[in-house]
């Protein structure tokens, strides 16, 4: 088992080195900007939902809010996408929902993200509700004190109540598959 773990670590290290080389080739300034991320992921300007999703993802990883991802922010993003545990991914999802950064989600924030991902989710799962209905159901299941806002603790607890809710809250639109399939096509 020790050798197997060592081989996995070596593959991970090799993959990280490969991504670093490609990152520096694609971003010789050492910074990845939103327009570059859209280009790398092949997001056409005509796809409003994908463009908004990429922008939301970009903003969530731009921790110093300088409108660019440096290599450390990039590595943190890849780590979360490829290796993040459920709790980390839920915290990231909460951050993506929480547009104003006040630590609470209101219905407008939840609807905003649901509208962005709705078409993608509908194509990949059996969702028979519209964005407003999805938002209302999320609040019915998660907003424990019925104050019209969802805190991080309510979000984390609520996400683990049932499979449908977990699927909607964790924003897992197969980001890993999307990264593997669409990013760094030039490498």
Please state the pTM of the whole predicted model: 0.69
pLDDT value at residue 126: 54
Residues 7 and 21 in one domain: yes
CA 133-135-141 angle, to 5 degrees, is: 100
Per-residue CA distances from 136 to 47, 72, 133 (Å): 26, 37, 5
pLDDT value at residue 13: 78
Q: Residue 49: which residues within 8 A CB-CB, separation 6 or more?
A: 115, 116, 117, 118, 119, 120
Is residue 187 situated within a structural domain?
A: no
How many domains are there within the chain? Answer: 2
Residues 93 and 115 in one domain: yes
Is residue 7 situated within a structural domain?
A: yes
pLDDT value at residue 6: 40
Is residue 20 situated within a structural domain?
A: yes
Residues 62 and 120 in one domain: no
**In which domain, by residue range, is 25 found?**
2-83
pLDDT value at residue 3: 43
Output the domain CATH number for residue 152.
1.10.238.10
Residue labelled with tokens 């070596």:
10
pLDDT value at residue 171: 61
Residues 102 and 162 in one domain: yes
β-bridge partners, 137: none
Distance CA 170, CA 159 (A): 8
Per-residue pLDDT of the chain (187 residues; tens, 9 = 90+): 444 444 444 447 777 788 788 888 888 888 999 988 888 777 776 777 778 878 888 888 898 999 999 988 888 887 787 777 888 888 888 888 888 889 999 999 998 888 877 665 554 455 678 888 989 999 999 999 999 999 999 999 988 887 888 877 766 544 444 445 444 444 4
């Amino acid at each position: 088992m020790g050798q197997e773990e060592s081989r996995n670590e070596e593959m991970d290290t090799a993959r990280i080195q490969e991504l670093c080389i490609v990152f520096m080739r694609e971003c010789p300034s050492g910074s990845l900007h939103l327009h570059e991320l859209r280009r790398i992921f092949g997001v056409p300007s005509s796809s409003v939902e994908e463009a908004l999703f990429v922008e939301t993802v970009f903003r969530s990883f731009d921790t110093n809010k300088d409108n660019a991802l440096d290599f450390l922010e990039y590595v943190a993003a890849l780590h979360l996408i490829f290796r993040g545990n459920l709790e980390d991914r839920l915290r990231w999802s909460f951050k993506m929902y929480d547009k104003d950064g006040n630590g609470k989600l209101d219905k407008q924030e939840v609807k905003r993200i649901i509208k962005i991902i709705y078409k993608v989710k509908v194509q990949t799962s059996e969702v028979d509700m519209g964005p407003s209905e999805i938002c209302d159901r999320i609040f019915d299941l998660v907003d424990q004190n019925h104050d019209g806002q969802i805190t991080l603790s309510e979000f984390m607890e609520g996400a683990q109540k049932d499979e449908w809710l977990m699927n909607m809250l964790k924003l897992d639109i197969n980001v890993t598959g999307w990264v593997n399939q669409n990013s760094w096509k030039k490498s």
